[in-house]
Amino acid sequence: MNYNEKKALISFLSIYVGSAIFLISILLYAYYQEEIKTLENTCNMELSHASMGIKTDIMNSYMHNKKFVPKQLAKGEIRYALYDKDKKLIYSYLDGKDFVDFDKKFYESSHFHFFIEEIHDMNIPIKYIVMETCQGILDKNSLKIYILVALLLSAIFVAFIAYLLAKVLLKPVREKVLHLDNFIKDSAHELNTPISVLMTSVSMLKKGKNPEKMMKYILSSSKQISQIYNDIHFSAFDSFHESVEEEFNLDELISDSVDYFNDISITKNIVIESSLSECIILMDRTKTQKLINNLISNSIKYSNYNEKVIVTLKEGIFSVQDFGIGISKKEQSEIFKRYKRGNNIEGGFGIGLDIVNRICDDYNLKLNLISKIKKGSIFSINFRNIIVESTKED
């Protein structure tokens, strides 16, 4: 993963995870506030209920002319203290040393919740019952830990999902960038040979050495550069959607292509043999030319030196046979994919056969390949479904 990819991944993760955690934090905060209210209401009710029990015991004791004897409550987490009308302590079970605020009915300190119950009877010396518990604070602290753990686990989960999404989303982009990098490298490699031959031939021609042979090399190199440019232009500018259907002689078009590539094959001393029967089809001429040219060009590229390429057109079936390196079974299933090349040493962009395959799909033409390693390959296209009727009758 290069620097730009890492930067894009980090930016995506930061935005995605940050926004997700922010949203989760808001939801958890709302949940926390609701739970705090519930805890306070529960604590208030428990303290109120306990204070009413104590108040009842005090009033019953004094009604029977008995002194009230304080005792611990069954619930150990709830404690209480008794104060007179002057707010002086009479008796206390309280753990905390916090200042008691008698102006409030129910309130919370740093460590406890307090509830204050008043006795409105002048004959009873006990005026205030102060209830205390730390359970509410403990529950509140437990809730905080729960919220933090939930937030942490959510953040880890969101980050994991974000990473997987980023990998999935960046994969096609990364493949595209990789293909583009390879395409640029292959462009330099592919153009290097004809340009080098062209410059060498021009230099030799200036010196007056083998002018006829040098002119053939110049012509061959120029046509190779032209073929490369046409393929790039046709593929890059999406010319597949532009079609002008017309009737024309397929055999004549193939013959022109054979003549064209005879000047290119001279650099490898390859002879192109052709056997063509008349065939009139209804198709876009430019796209048909691309089919023919790319198959012949491909056969020359992957043929050995001093070999031949056989081009035939019989009963509407066009085929190109070479005796070159061949294609393995595994590569045959992928050879028509974009940027897929049979052999890196031979150069090429890997777009020629992709163009052939896409045009065949557009016109529903059957494309076939037979190949053996080190024996050669035969590419064939069946044009029968687009042959003009008059030709079929003949």
d(CA 225, CA 315): 33
Question: Which pLDDT value is given to residue 187?
Answer: 65
Boundary of a domain, candidates 144, 168, 197: 144
Triad 22, 23, 29: Cα angle to 5°: 85
Helix (H) / strand (E) element for 180: namely: helix 135-206
Boundary of a domain, candidates 94, 125, 144: 144
Boundary of a domain, candidates 129, 144, 159: 144
**Does any domain span residue 174?**
no
Indicate if the alpha-carbon torsion angle 285, 286, 290, 296 is positive or negative: positive
112 and 248 together in one domain: no
Number of structural domains (the chain) is 2
d(CA 255, CA 260): 9
* Distinct helix (H) and strand (E) counts, the chain: 8, 12
250 and 385 together in one domain: yes
**Does any domain span residue 37?**
yes
**Does any domain span residue 140?**
yes
- And the tokens for 180? 């583009």
251 and 140 together in one domain: no
133 and 251 together in one domain: no
User: CB-based burial of residue 302 (10 Å sphere; 0-12 exposed, 13-18 middle, 19+ buried)?
Assistant: buried
**Does any domain span residue 285?**
yes
Cα–Cα distances (Å) from 59 to 102, 126, 127, 164, 287, in that order, read 21, 10, 11, 69, 107
287: domain CATH number is 3.30.565.10
Question: Which pLDDT value is given to residue 347?
Answer: 43
User: CB-based burial of residue 189 (10 Å sphere; 0-12 exposed, 13-18 middle, 19+ buried)?
Assistant: middle
Mean per-residue pLDDT pooled into runs of 10, the chain (394 residues): 73 85 92 91 91 90 85 81 90 78 88 90 89 87 92 91 82 73 65 73 78 76 74 60 84 90 84 94 89 89 91 95 88 70 46 82 92 92 86 50
**Does any domain span residue 52?**
yes
Task: Return the biggest CA–CA distance within the chain.
Answer: 141
Question: Which pLDDT value is given to residue 351?
Answer: 65
**Does any domain span residue 186?**
no
Residue 316 sits in which domain range?
243-393
Within 8 A by CB and 6+ apart from 314, the residues are: 275, 277
253 and 126 together in one domain: no
**Does any domain span residue 169?**
no
247 and 131 together in one domain: no
Question: Which pLDDT value is given to residue 16?
Answer: 85
**Does any domain span residue 161?**
no
Question: Which pLDDT value is given to residue 183?
Answer: 64
Q: Are strands 308-314 and 271-276 parallel, antiparallel or unpaired?
A: parallel
Question: Which pLDDT value is given to residue 235?
Answer: 61
Query: Helix, strand or coil for residue 243?
Result: coil
Q: Can you give the pTM of this predicted structure?
A: 0.51
Count of C-beta atoms within a 10 Å radius of residue 272: 22
Question: Which pLDDT value is given to residue 182?
Answer: 65
